Amino acid sequence: MTFAPDDLRNAMNDLARSTDPLEPGLVLRSAKRRRARRRLAVTAAAAALVAVAGGITALRPSGNGPIVAGDSRAIQDLDDSLHGLNSGNYAFSRTGAYLITDIVRAQVDVADGYAVEYGNKMSLLQVGDTTYLKPPGEGTYAGPRALDQIKNAGLPQAEVDRYAASIAQLDGTRWLRVDQQRLAQAAEVDEQSSLDYTAPTPTADKPDITGAGALVSAVMTAERSGDTITGTLDATKVNSELRLVIDDPASYYGPPATSMRYQATLDGQGRLTSFTLHLPATLASQAADSQPEPPLAITVTRYGDVEAPQAPPGAESITELTYELLARDND
């Protein structure tokens, strides 16, 4: 490259021209997620990672109740189908919730504990009053590079050892005894963390953490055929604090936000076995990469058949530094 101010200017502009832009739809989605997180942070207790006592309220549609265009009995059947969940002993999986990592499997025995395994391989387990976390083993501190950078930073050996111990705790193979409040505090740090998108804790007052109750409460129309109920729900009526659908769905999806299609199935005893919410294929914002989103799908099994979880053998006590790293382990 020759060198004169104009050559420099041209070379820089060449670099710009050969640079790919960001994907607009992905940036928009990240921006909306951040906005949702910040709004939720304002209502901190309910939005916290493991809301120990605050509880989550499933809002009923406001106004004069649901407008039933179809079989009004079907809506009653949907309401009744939640009784099994409210008994507090069940297993479930869930994919497609807006701001919660997919749940591969979860077992709830609200009287004695619960276990949740997430799609990012992170697991949370509560046995009695003790909570255990198995970190996802991926992200900022996964792999040897993170520790290599620490070693190359010129820190005292004791500090390097401290980081090495905490990075090892995050390797995804160990169960850590944790304080739920400290996890909640780590999740509230304004950095990307694997703790940011976890489900609330089941409690005796709110035993249903599947989100099905909140979705059913927003149902506007229902029609039953055998054990299958189909219809529409108003996503603007779903409590945004549960992070099941995008915050301010009317802005994101436009008018279809108020009439999203769903399908529910019931077992022989009328208990909910699945609930699938189909998200609108067209975005109001018409983002350049707009594509149909996968549905929000909940599957419930093993009503009354879940046993109390057992404490994992060999669990370690989490260190102070590990809490700090967890707060930004996905940044």
Partner 1 sequence: MKFRRGRDTDESFTAFVAARSHRLIAHAELLCGHREQARDIVQSVLVRAYQRWSRIEHDDPYGYVQRSVTNAVTDWWRTAHQRHERPVDVVPDVPGSQDTALEDRGALLAALDLLTNRERAIVVLRYFDDQAERDVAAILGISVGTVKSTCHTALRKMRIALDDEVPRPQSFHGTKEQS
Residues that bind partner 1 (CB under 8 A): 1-3, 5, 8-9, 11-22, 24-25, 27-28, 30-32, 34-35, 38, 149-150, 152-153, 248, 250-252, 254-255, 284-288
Q: Which is nearer to partner 1, 104 or 250 (CB)?
A: 250
> What are the φ/ψ torsions at residue 143 (nearest 5 degrees)?
80, 165
3 state DSSP class of 228: strand
Choose among 252, 244, 243, 245: nearest CA to 287: 252
Beta carbon of residue 277, minimum distance to partner 1 (angstroms, whole number): 20
Beta carbon of residue 250, minimum distance to partner 1 (angstroms, whole number): 5
Q: Which is nearer to partner 1, 37 or 271 (CB)?
A: 37
Choose among 38, 143, 96: nearest CA to 262: 96
Choose among 229, 205, 235: nearest CA to 295: 235
CB–CB of 218/233 below 8 Å? yes
Residue 113 to residues 161, 200, 324: CA-CA distances in angstroms? 35, 13, 26
Beta carbon of residue 279, minimum distance to partner 1 (angstroms, whole number): 16
| Secondary structure element (H or E) that encloses residue 300, with its range | strand 296-301
Beta carbon of residue 255, minimum distance to partner 1 (angstroms, whole number): 8
Q: Which is nearer to partner 1, 24 or 270 (CB)?
A: 24
Q: Which is nearer to partner 1, 80 or 293 (CB)?
A: 293
Residue length, the chain?
A: 331
Beta carbon of residue 24, minimum distance to partner 1 (angstroms, whole number): 4
Q: Which is nearer to partner 1, 2 or 157 (CB)?
A: 2
